[in-house]
Amino acid sequence: MSNHKVWFITGAGRGLGVELTKAALAAGHTVVATGRNSAKVAAALGAHPNLLCLKLDVTRLDEAQAAVAAAVARFGRIDVLVNNAGNFYAGFFEELNPEQVRSQLETLLFGPMNVTRAVLPTMRGQRAGLLLNISSTAGITGGMFCS
């Protein structure tokens, strides 16, 4: 891989995703910044010649495949995938409804799988690529009041 890389970042409309995108652009890389609302992603990041903002709800495999296809059509490759999108529902178990629990698993477990599944054929074709999955200590250790 050359020093100039094409990054593909999920959940880039706020929080860490915005900061990662800005840092990668400032370092001279190209970024495909994605989010459930692409207009919100574009508003958070502003215009940049090396930036493409796309719609991607990570719970949707079809949207992941469409975003990857658009990224490759525009930039020819994807070198780095950052599975950053996430949500967090914490509380006593009976305070969390089934939809919240399901949403957390769909977003933080199956979401990265959807995007990785969509990106891997491109990376395998390139015979190069880096997958970064943003996790949390909350995923590996129990926390008080965090069922």
Ligand X SMILES: NC(=O)c1ccc[n+]([C@@H]2O[C@H](COP(=O)([O-])OP(=O)(O)OC[C@H]3O[C@@H](n4cnc5c(N)ncnc54)[C@H](OP(=O)(O)O)[C@@H]3O)[C@@H](O)[C@H]2O)c1
Contact set for ligand X, span 66-125 (CB under 6 A):
84-88, 107, 111
DSSP string, 62-125: HHHHHHHHHHHHHHS---EEEE-------S-GGGS-HHHHHHHHIIIIIHHHHHHHHHHHHHHH
Sign of CA dihedral 128, 55, 140, 7: positive
How many residues sit close enough to ligand X to count as binding (CB under 6 A)?
23
Question: Is residue 129 at the binding interface for ligand X, with CB under 6 A as the rule?
Answer: no
Select from 97, 126, 136, 147 the one that contacts ligand X (CB under 6 A): 136
Question: Which residue number, 30 or 107, has a Cβ lying nearer to ligand X?
Answer: 107
Reading the block at residue 136, the tokens are 């949390």
Where does this chain touch ligand X (CB under 6 A) — which range of 54-62, 65-73, 91-99, 120-128?
54-62
Question: Which residue number, 64 or 72, has a Cβ lying nearer to ligand X?
Answer: 64
Select from 35, 45, 68, 122 the one that contacts ligand X (CB under 6 A): 35
* SS3 (DSSP) at 15: coil
Question: Which residue number, 69 or 128, has a Cβ lying nearer to ligand X?
Answer: 69
